[in-house]
Amino acid sequence: MRHLFEVIAAGCRQLAPSATVEAARVGLGLPDALTAPSAWPTGVQLAPALSPYDPTPAG
């Protein structure tokens, strides 16, 4: 789980405004930081970044 948080935080650092990154880093409103429309450029989705961690079996 910690690795997943680090992957998400790394994505936030690259794409989000610094205030959003700070909120995610200290655990303040992490879901809001990830889902806020202003946090992501048009067309960027979180789901593809998480797909390697999908627990559902293929096929």
pLDDT of residue 27: 57
**58 assigned to some structural domain:** no
pLDDT of residue 1: 65
pLDDT tens profile 6-59 = 777 777 666 655 665 566 566 555 555 555 656 555 555 555 555 555 556 655
Domain that holds residue 41: 2-52
Question: What does the DSSP assignment read for the chain?
Answer: -HHHHHHHHHHHHHHS-HHHHHHHHTTSSHHHHHH-GGGS-TT--SHHHHGGG--SPP-
**29 assigned to some structural domain:** yes
**59 assigned to some structural domain:** no
**57 assigned to some structural domain:** no
**13 assigned to some structural domain:** yes
**10 assigned to some structural domain:** yes
Domain count, the chain: 1
The yes-or-no verdict on residue 5 having pLDDT over 70 is yes
